[in-house]
C-alpha cells in the first residue's frame, strides 16, 4: 500500500475554527532510527504505530536495498526481517531524500563490518555536522575515509568511552546502535536524550540490549552477543502535538488531541503558555479550549519575553517555526531565538508577505509583534516544520492561500490534509 499523499499544492480557505478530536501519529524521529536498528536483530521485528509518511517510506526502501525484507503489514504496521542483510553500500539516490539515511552506518558497521554511506539529504535548515558521528565510530574502532562517500570499515567494534562534542540526536543514536553488540562497556557522554532517543533505547532493550541512563545525558551500553526479534510500538510524536496545539489556538477551535505522552510536553507547554495558549492536560489527552484570546506573558518588570530552543529537555528546535506562527496572533511582543540551525527562520518572509509583523534580527533571532491580520497568499514550503508553520498561518488567514511543494510537509505529517478536513478545515490537495 502506498502513502496516501502525493506531491502537489494545498489550497486553503482560512478563518475556520478547527474543532473535534485528532490522534497523534507515531514519532517520526523515533521510527527512523528504530527502523535502522532492526538491522541489528537476528530475527524479524514487528513495529506498530509507524507514521505513514514520506521519510519512513524512504527508510523502508533503504532497508530493502540492503537486502532486508521490510513491508507494511497494516496501515501503520511494518515488519522487518533483517536476516537477508547483504549489502553495506547505501543507495545515493535514496540517501538524498532524508538525513536519517546516515543512521544506517552504525548498524552496518556492527553487522557487516563495512558501511559505504553517501552524504545524507534532508531539510536545508543550516549546517548539520556529521563530525560527532565520525568521532564516535572512530572511538569504537572503525577506520573511515571521507571522500564523495564515507567509507567505513572495522575488524570488530570494541567498547570505549565517547564524549560527543555536541548533543547530536542522530550521532547519539548511531553510537548507541554501533555499541549495542560491541563487547565491553561503552559510555556516551553529552548524549542527546530527546523522547525519540529514549524510544530507540527502550526498543533495543526489548530485543536484549543492556542500556543504562535512559532519559539522561550519560548512557552506558554493555555489548551483548545478539539481539533477538520482537514487537515494538513507536511512541507518540510530541512535535505533532505541539503543531496541533498551535493550529487550534490560532483558529479558535475546541480541539482534543488523543494519544499524547504528558512527560514529553513539559517544555513545549511552558513555551505555549508564554504565548497565552492554555490547555487541559489529561493522562493521555490534551484539550485546547475554544475562543482563547492569546496574550504574550511578559517577563518580570514588563520585559519582552524570549522563547529559545535547545537540547532536550529544552524547547524543541522543531517547534520554533510553529511558535513564530502562533506569536503572530498573540497580543504583545516576543523574541524567538533559534540557536541550533541558522537557516530555519528564513521562512518568516512568507509570513511577512501575509501581513505578519516580524523583525529579523539575524539568522537566529526574530522579534514578533501581534496580533496581525494575515491574508491569504501564494506560498511554498521550504522544509517540514516551516511548511507546517505556513499551513497554520494559512488556516487562520483571511481568504485563500496556496502552498506549493507540500511534499516537504508530507515528509513529517501523515495525511495532514485529510486529518484537518475532519476537523473542519477547508483544505484541498491539487496537482
Quote the DSSP letter at residue 227. B
**Residue written as cell 573511515?**
144
Alpha helices in 180-236 (DSSP H): 195-206
d(CA 93, CA 99): 12
State the cell numbers at 400: 485563500
Residue 1 is predicted with a pLDDT of 36
Active site residues: 123
- The candidate with the shortest Cα–Cα distance to 399, out of 366, 375, 379, is 375
Can you list the residues of the chain whose pLDDT is less than 50?
Answer: 1-6, 123-127
- Taking phi over 0 as left and psi of -120 to 50 as alpha, with beta for the rest, 275 belongs to alpha
* CA 192 and chain centroid, separation: 14
**Kindly report the CA angle at 237 between 337 and 323, in degrees rounded to 5?**
25
CB atoms within 10 A of CB 314: 13
**Residue written as cell 501575509?**
354
CB atoms within 10 A of CB 335: 16
Task: Give the DSSP letter string of 113-181.
Answer: SEEEEPPP----SS----HHHHHHHHHTT-EEEESSSEEEE-S-----EEE-SS--HHHHHHHHHHHTT
Which listed CATH number (3.40.1280.10, 3.90.79.10, 3.65.10.10, 3.40.50.10070) goes with 9-25+236-430? 3.65.10.10
Q: What contacts 235, CB < 8 A, 6 or more positions away? A: 26, 27, 30, 49, 195, 196, 199, 261, 264
Question: Please, are residues 333 and 296 in contact by the beta-carbon 8 Å criterion?
Answer: yes
Task: Provide the residue count of the chain.
Answer: 431
Alpha helices in 180-284 (DSSP H): 195-206, 238-251, 266-274
Q: Which secondary-structure segment (H or E) carries 229? A: none
Question: Please, are residues 90 and 49 in contact by the beta-carbon 8 Å criterion?
Answer: no
Residue 2 is predicted with a pLDDT of 39
Residue 7 is predicted with a pLDDT of 57
**Kindly report the CA angle at 285 between 279 and 286, in degrees rounded to 5?**
15
Residue 128 is predicted with a pLDDT of 56
The CATH class given to the 28-233 domain equals: alpha beta
d(CA 35, CA 210): 19
Q: What's the sign of the alpha-carbon dihedral 228, 234, 239, 242?
A: negative
- The candidate with the shortest Cα–Cα distance to 234, out of 428, 52, 9, 20, is 52
Helix (H, G, I), strand (E, B) or coil at 253: coil
Task: Give the DSSP letter string of 280-316.
Answer: EE-SSEEEE-SS---B--PBGGGBPPEEEB-STTSBP
Q: Phi/psi of residue 301, each to 5°?
A: 80, 10
Domain residue extents for the chain: 9-25+236-430, 28-233
**pTM reported for the whole predicted model:** 0.92
Two domains, one topology: 9-25+236-430 and 28-233: yes
Please count the CA atoms within 13 angstroms of the CA of 226 that sit on its side-chain side.
7
CB atoms within 10 A of CB 150: 21
| Beta-sheet pairing, 400-404 with 378-380 | parallel
- The candidate with the shortest Cα–Cα distance to 35, out of 6, 4, 72, 2, is 72
**For 201-230, what is each residue's pLDDT tens digit?**
999 999 999 999 999 999 999 999 999 999
Amino acid at each position: 500500500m502506498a502513502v496516501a499523499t502525493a506531491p502537489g499544492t494545498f489550497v486553503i480557505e482560512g478563518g475556520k475554527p478547527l474543532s473535534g478530536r485528532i490522534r497523534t501519529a507515531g514519532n517520526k524521529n523515533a521510527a527512523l532510527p528504530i527502523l535502522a536498528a532492526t538491522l541489528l536483530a537476528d530475527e524479524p521485528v514487528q513495529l506498530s504505530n509507524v507514521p505513514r509518511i514520506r521519510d519512513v517510506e524512504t527508510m523502508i526502501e533503504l532497508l530493502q536495498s540492503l537486502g532486508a525484507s521490510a513491508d507494511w503489514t497494516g496501515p501503520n504496521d511494518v515488519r522487518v526481517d533483517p536476516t537477508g542483510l547483504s549489502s553495506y553500500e547505501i543507495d545515493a539516490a535514496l540517501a538524498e531524500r532524508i538525513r536519517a539515511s546516515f543512521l544506517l552506518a552504525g548498524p552496518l558497521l556492527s553487522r557487516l563490518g563495512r558501511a559505504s554511506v553517501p552524504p545524507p539529504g534532508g531539510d536545508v535548515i543550516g549546517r548539520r555536522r556529521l563530525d560527532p558521528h565520525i568521532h564516535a565510530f572512530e572511538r569504537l574502532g572503525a577506520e573511515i575515509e571521507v571522500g564523495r562517500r564515507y567509507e567505513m570499515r572495522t575488524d570488530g567494534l570494541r567498547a570505549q568511552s565517547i564524549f560527543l562534542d555536541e548533543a547530536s540526536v542522530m550521532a547519539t543514536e548511531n553510537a548507541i546502535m554501533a555499541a549495542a553488540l560491541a563487547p565491553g562497556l561503552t559510555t556516551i557522554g553529552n548524549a542527546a536524550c530527546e523522547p525519540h532517543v529514549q524510544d530507540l533505547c527502550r526498543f533495543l532493550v526489548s530485543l536484549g540490549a543492556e542500556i543504562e541512563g535512559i532519559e539522561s545525558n550519560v548512557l552506558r551500553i554493555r555489548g551483548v552477543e545478539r539481539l533477538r526479534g520482537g514487537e515494538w510500538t513507536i511512541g507518540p510524536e510530541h512535535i505533532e502535538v505541539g503543531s496541533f496545539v498551535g493550529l487550534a489556538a490560532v483558529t479558535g477551535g475546541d480541539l482534543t488531541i488523543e494519544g499524547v505522552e504528558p512527560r514529553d510536553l513539559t517544555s513545549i507547554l511552558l513555551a505555549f503558555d508564554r504565548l497565552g495558549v492554555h490547555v487541559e492536560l489529561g493522562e493521555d489527552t490534551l484539550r485546547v479550549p475554544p475562543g482563547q484570546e492569546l496574550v504574550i506573558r511578559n517577563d518580570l518588570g514588563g520585559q519582552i519575553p524570549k522563547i529559545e530552543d535547545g537540547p532536550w529537555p529544552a524547547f524543541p528546535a522543531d517547534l520554533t517555526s510553529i511558535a513564530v506562527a502562533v506569536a503572530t496572533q498573540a497580543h504583545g511582543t516576543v523574541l524567538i531565538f533559534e540557536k541550533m540551525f541558522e537557516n530555519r527562520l528564513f521562512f518568516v518572509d512568507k509570513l511577512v508577505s501575509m501581513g505578519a509583523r516580524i523583525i529579523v534580527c539575524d539568522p537566529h533571532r526574530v522579534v514578533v509583534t501581534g496580533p496581525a491580520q494575515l491574508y491569504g497568499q501564494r506560498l511554498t514550503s521550504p522544509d517540514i516544520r516551516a511548511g507546517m508553520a505556513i499551513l497554520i498561518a494559512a488556516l487562520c488567514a483571511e481568504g485563500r492561500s496556496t502552498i506549493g511543494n507540500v511534499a516537504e510537509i508530507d515528509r513529517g505529517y501523515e495525511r495532514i490534509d485529510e486529518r484537518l478536513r475532519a476537523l473542519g478545515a477547508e483544505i484541498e490537495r491539487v496537482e
